[in-house]
Amino acid sequence: MIERATIILQKMQQHCGSGVEVDFYPYFFTASFDTLCEASFGVQVDSQLGRSRDWAQDMFRIAPLLTKRLFAPWLHVDYIYEKTNAAKKMKKFSDDFREFSKNVINERRKHFSKNCGNNNDDMNGDIDCPEYLLDAIHNSQEDSIYTYSDTDKIDEAITFMIAGSETTAQTNCFVLLMLAIHPEYQEKVFEEQYTIFGDADTPITPDDLDKMEYLEQVIKETLRFFPVVPIFARHADEDTKLTQNYVLPAGATAVIFPFFTHYDTELWPEPNKFNPDNFTAEKMANRHKYAFIPFSGGARGCIGNKYSMIAMKTTLSIFIRQFRVSTTKNLEDIEVYLDLVLRCKGGWRMKLERRINQKS
């Protein structure tokens, strides 16, 4: 994570002091994608350094096609959908991405058999061969009633790559945009970083991450304001009593929009005001645990919740200590739209300035 965040700094340095607002997303997406591939699969993809295809561009082209299908019931019929151009584009993307994931899995297998024993099936992880997600899936087979086929493993890899990379990158960009719009919060975040690290450039430790309480409040308030997964759903297998008067009948689909919950005035007194103090320990203790649901909840809630908080804090800590961000936009100027995930119209454009020395 630290390495990837440092590459962001190096690549964005060229924009410092240019006075031009640049879109931060490509820098943060590639970093997030590469980190995820390495953390989950133990494989270096290096899209950040241009050594792999630019999947962010592909995802930008493909997501609107999926969104369109989601809201057009007639396109749910495979027979009709398969005749459309969108379906052909989707298939091409899906085939390419599956091929890419297959290669990632094969890479991991090769690495494991070369460094961790001769047997491809012996993915039992030790200190020299840490167990990554794919290894865990592989190893779980022995105790499991379910056997994972190669197709299953590719599907798992794709789910992780898609679910984990865009969400984290977008949240990082939204956080920086909020800090650009609210310089007073930006300075407070910087002050916290300075208190932890001073002028030292030491690597971040888990203890340091725990101390970044204000940064975490800012991230959470950003996720309240901009829940990057703005819609998810549950299928009721049986009649489910919601309240005294309401029952969700078996077979129904309940669609959940965190936007409604996150802007509910009964839960958030001033929902339209960006206020990191909404997430002080005290305020959180007095609020219903499902008042804040950017990661959904329950058994099928986001599995990457903790990982993403570590990844975001690490990246933002490194970035904020070196750069100051600004924008000509106000909060009211920000327009978002639903594209499976939540996107910012025109991108996440900001100006960048290098802090001359750390405490400036």
Closest-approach residue to ligand HEM (CB): 304
Q: Give contact residues for ligand HEM (rule: CB under 6 A).
A: 36, 159-160, 163-164, 167-168, 171, 228-229, 232, 294-296, 300-304, 307-308
- Of 179 and 351, which CB lies nearer to ligand HEM in the complex structure? 179
- Of 171 and 324, which CB lies nearer to ligand HEM in the complex structure? 171
End-to-end, the C-alpha distance of the chain in Å comes to 25
Q: What are phi and psi of 293, to 5 degrees?
A: -130, 45
Question: Pairing between strand 349-354 and 232-235?
Answer: unpaired
Is 83 buried (19+), middle (13-18) or exposed (0-12) by CB count in 10 A? Answer: exposed
- Of 80 and 136, which CB lies nearer to ligand HEM in the complex structure? 136
Residue among 117, 310, 143 at smallest CA distance from 219: 310
**302 assigned binding-site residue:** yes
The token duo for 337 is 């739209």
The Cα 116–Cα 127 span in angstroms is 10
What does the DSSP assignment read for 88-104? HHHHHHHHHHHHHHHHH
- Of 204 and 311, which CB lies nearer to ligand HEM in the complex structure? 311
Number of C-beta neighbours around residue 71 at 10 A: 8
Q: Are 323 and 16 in contact (CB under 8 A)?
A: yes
Residue among 334, 329, 337, 302 at smallest CA distance from 167: 302
Residue among 59, 69, 64 at smallest CA distance from 96: 59
The Cα 81–Cα 62 span in angstroms is 15
Cβ neighbors of 217 (< 8 A, separation 6 or more) are 276, 277, 278, 279, 280
Q: What angle do CA 163, 169, 173 make, to 5 degrees?
A: 145
Least Å from the CB of residue 341 to ligand HEM = 9
Report the binding-site residues for heme: 302
Report the binding-site residues: 302
